[in-house]
Amino acid sequence: MFEGGRNVWVLEQPVALLLLAFVPLVMYLRHGAPNRGGRLRFPISVWGGRHFVPRVWSVAFLYRLSILAFWLGVVICIVALSSPARVYRERINLTRGMDIVFVLDESPTMAAMDFAPYSRFEAAKRIIRRFVRGRENDAIGLVSFARDAALRVPPTVDHQHLLKELDQLSIMELGDGTAIGLGIALGALHLQSSSAEQRVLVLLTDGKNNVAEILPGVAARVARDLGVRVHTVGIGSPGEIPIEFTDPHTGRSYRGIVTDAYEADALRDLAEITGGNFFEAASLGSLEAIFQTLDTVETVERRARVEVRTESLSRHFIFLGFMLIIFDFVTRRVLLRERL
């Protein structure tokens, strides 16, 4: 949506409003003209005093209400004739953005609390969310890994869906371990059929590879051959970090101290093989800075146009006008027993 989805109301045929000029004339002919028809004149009155007027309050009220409803109905019908419509402006992207897949570590150590007030995992999720919001035109996917790796969202421009899935991600759903190679290979595989010119994979991890199925170096070379650039982000600060998390399978809570850290050299190598960059995030602030860098490093030219879509509102007006005029008809012809 353009400008946050604001929309305006317009009249597509304002000329029809000229008909409103005739309304007072017809109103005069019906209610004010001295010689108008459809009524009786009583010659009974006190000389010089008041004329004969109906004294029944409810009848007079109903009569006036029905007149009001009738003319309001007529005015609304004339407005309907001028085609009221709501106009939406939508920005349409004309260029193909890039494809980005986040490969996020969800091993138990990601629960370490060195990104106060968040854990490493929560901090990573928050930063990814903010990044996604700024990349409207890019297809973004999500792979998570621990002992195993799984595709959570394929590269898509449906960011709403992506953010929903990201929210639902939790630690240790894929076991205890750090299968960096598997994660990269899976992410690269899902970028294989992409038609984007730029394909980027962003790995976020706080540990070293300890699953031997696919070695990270091999996976990085596979990614390079598929034309995928891999950026690696090492998460965590050195030293003893308190940790607390719940195993989603057993429901048991764990507490302890983490001293493990990622291998900076290994992650730097992975990035270099594919032409990407390696970043170290020791705090929330540095993680934010890294994503800002990524945002400026990975750009493609972007063109867009504004498309205007109108939604006619005439039916609502016609319906309302119709109801008011029918109300007048029923009131006068049935309740007040007017004859003509």
Q: Which is nearer to another protein, 78 or 241 (CB)?
A: 78
Nearest-angstrom CA–CA distance, 256 and 248? 17
| DSSP string over 69-124 | HHHHHHHHHHHHHT-EEEEEEEEEE-S---EEEEEEE-SGGGGB-TBTTB-HHHHH
**Residue given tokens 């109903």 in the structure block:** 62
Q: Which is nearer to another protein, 55 or 315 (CB)?
A: 315
Helix (H) or strand (E) holding 309: strand 304-312
Which residues ranging from 128 to 167 are in contact with another protein (CB under 8 A)?
136-137, 139, 141, 151, 153-158, 161-162
Count of residues that interact with another protein, criterion CB under 8 A: 63
Q: Which two tokens stand for residue 130?
A: 């903010």
* Candidate residues 7, 17, 30, 247; the one interacting with another protein per rule CB under 8 A: 30
Q: Does 312 bind another protein (CB under 8 A)?
A: yes
Q: Which stretch binds another protein (CB under 8 A): 72-80, 168-176, 238-246, 266-274?
A: 72-80
Shortest Cβ 150–another protein spacing (Å): 11
Q: What is the CA radius of gyration of the chain?
A: 36
Beta carbons of 109 and 146 less than 8 angstroms apart: no
* Candidate residues 190, 199, 229, 231; the one interacting with another protein per rule CB under 8 A: 190
Q: Which is nearer to another protein, 36 or 133 (CB)?
A: 36
Beta carbons of 32 and 71 less than 8 angstroms apart: no
Q: Which stretch binds another protein (CB under 8 A): 79-87, 114-122, 225-233, 287-295?
A: 79-87
For residues 271 to 310, the per-residue mask of contacts with another protein, x marking binding by CB under 8 A and - elsewhere, is ---------------------------------xx---x-
